[in-house]
A and B are shown apart, each in its own frame.
Chain A
Amino acid sequence: MLKKKILLADDSRTALMIERALLVGSPYDVIVATDGYDAVQQAVEAHPDLIILDVVMPNMDGFEACRRLRQIDTTRDTPIIMVTTRGEPHNVESGYEVGCNDYVTKPINGPELLSKVRNLLGE
């Protein structure tokens, strides 16, 4: 069976390690980007089935990366989960305004993230 591909974009080493540990144990291939610009590039080249995008990243933040991904034909419909350190309503609203499908807050809750991933992948 072909594994679904997930792109993780985060500049935090600890966040990437946690997210990878959770997802690699499930039937997913995981690719990694460490800033927003890199995330957009990799999304265009690797065609992930889902993108997990941190809000605070260097070069290009998660909101801008999400906005750009929604303007590109090949990534327009790719599910995006935003990861925020702060769960305040305005941060969440900003994420939905630029086109994310869902969000999670740090510290990452493993079962919550996996549930949202499965839901968006239609599993």
Chain B
Amino acid sequence: MHPVDEEQLLEALRENARLTERSLAVEQQVTDLASLYVAVNSLHAATEPSGVLAALREIVANLVGSEEFALFDSDARNGHIRLVAASGVAAFRFEAIEIGSGIIGTVAETGRSYVRREGGSGQSGSDESITACLPLRIGTAVTGVLAIFHLLPHKGALEDPDLDLFEVLSAHLAPALQFARFYHGGRT
């Protein structure tokens, strides 16, 4: 029997630790990429507006980690935004939002996302409770806004992959909803 070479053993342990770390990083990367794929696929698979909203509800709950959101159409001609759907927050809070007013109105006006990494706090539906407010684009035009409010308690805070997911929602939610409206409208 050969005596154990201590240095070789230590090197093997270090290599094992490196491989474990790399394996975990790959698994996390697979999760992150799968989330983006699932989000895009779910939104574009829907052929009715209600299907897009159901997909959005699942994405917000299962991928972002929130049960509160509000979706708006932007009516630039009349200077306000109109609530399309709300989940987990009272709809009356969003009856009259002018473009340029508050976080939601500002996002509609500027087309720039608002993100609070630590998550929103305060009364549900208030500006303080917004975790992310995203412009929804078709091409370069902002056609709506998605506001995501409190995060689930165990979620804690947003991480970098969440920001990638927000980019996907910003680019794909409005086209998916528009397609579903046309497709469903053409069939009924």
B152-179 interface with A by 8 A CB criterion: 152-155
For chain B, the bracket of interface size reads 20 to 34
B62, B154, B155: the one contacting A18 at CB < 8 Å is B62
Contact of A18 with B58 at beta-carbon distance under 8 Å, contacts A85-B152, A87-B154, A107-B63 already known: no
Q: Is the CB of A18 within 8 A of B153?
A: no
Nearest-neighbour CB distance to chain B for A119, whole angstroms, equals 14
Q: Is the CB of B63 within 8 A of A18?
A: yes
Binding-face segment, A9-17, A30-38, A40-48, A63-71: A9-17
Interface of B is mostly: helix
30 A-B residue contacts at CB 8 Å?
A12-B58, A12-B61, A12-B62, A13-B42, A13-B55, A14-B55, A17-B34, A17-B37, A17-B38, A17-B41, A17-B42, A18-B31, A18-B38, A21-B30, A22-B31, A25-B30, A85-B61, A85-B67, A86-B153, A87-B154, A105-B152, A106-B61, A106-B62, A107-B35, A107-B62, A107-B64, A108-B62, A111-B24, A111-B28, A111-B31
A→B interface (CB under 8 Å): 12-15, 17-18, 21-22, 25, 85-88, 105-111, 114
